[in-house]
Amino acid sequence: MVGMSVLRSAAAFAARLSPLKSGNTAANLLTRTVPRTDKVAVRWGHGKQMFVIKPSDYYDRRFLRLLQYYVLLTGIPMAVIVTFVNVFVGEAELAEIPEGYEPEHWEYYKHPVTRWISRTFYDSPVKDYEKMMAAIQIEKEKGDMRLTQLEVRRQMRQKGDGPWFQVETLDKNLIDNSPKSTPDN
């Protein structure tokens, strides 16, 4: 402790002897004085080199690279397919329907890509109609069952029939069967 105190006072004395020198000297390191900040410490020459702290952009660049990769991975083949279909296949033309022929639901669309999407991914309007009618029938049956249950409950209450009008029977062990053992007495 005494040694540090002597070193500190010696450094302060040395700093007072040469006040024109600036920067981070040994005297400034040992004293409790604040070093002057009008000059930046320059090391290794070649001008002012500072370590600038900035947030990492690794994840931003990675996201943009992956986005570009996947857009190009799907975009280029889709552009080639659509161009091929538009150039070589072309749009459908309106023609007479032969007698007795019923067109499929995708044949009503003009563009081949739309026709393919309609044929592959969507159900026909007839199937959609049947599914809706089935759902309506199920709901109607549920409603009829509820109405029947309400009518049965009303009739049971009105006629006194049902589990709430029953009386519990006694336990068989409580019955005295002794008079039946000698009937002639």
Token pair of 84 as six digits: 């091929």
What is the chain's mean pLDDT, rounded?
Answer: 82
DSSP per-residue letters across the chain:
-HHHHHHHHHHHHHHHH-TT--SS-HHHHHSSSPPP-SS----SSSS----------HHHHHHHHHHHHHHHHHHHHHHHHHHHIIIII------PPPTT----GGGG-SSHHHHHHHHHHS--HHHHHHHHHHHHHHHHHHHHHHHHHHHHHHHHHHHT-SGGG--PPPPGGGS--HHHH-TT-
Instruction: Name, in order, each residue with C-beta under 8 angstroms of 118's C-beta and a sequence gap of 6 or more.
Output: 105, 106, 109
Token pair of 30 as six digits: 């040992």
56 to 15, 61, 68, 160: CA distances (angstroms)? 42, 10, 20, 82
> Given this model, what pLDDT does residue 124 score?
93
Question: Taking a C-beta distance cutoff of 8 angstroms, is the pair 30, 7 a contact?
Answer: yes
Question: Taking a C-beta distance cutoff of 8 angstroms, is the pair 118, 105 a contact?
Answer: yes
| Residues present in the chain in total | 185
Q: Give residue 119's pLDDT band: very low, low, confident or very high (50, 70, 90).
A: very high
Q: Give residue 129's pLDDT band: very low, low, confident or very high (50, 70, 90).
A: very high
Average pLDDT over residues 137-163: 91
> Given this model, what pLDDT does residue 88 score?
92
Residue-wise pLDDT for 45-60, tens only, equals 667 777 888 889 999 9
pLDDT higher than threshold 90 for residue 73: yes
Residue 183 or 108, more confident: 108
Residue-wise pLDDT for 8-40, tens only, equals 777 777 666 655 555 555 555 555 555 555 665
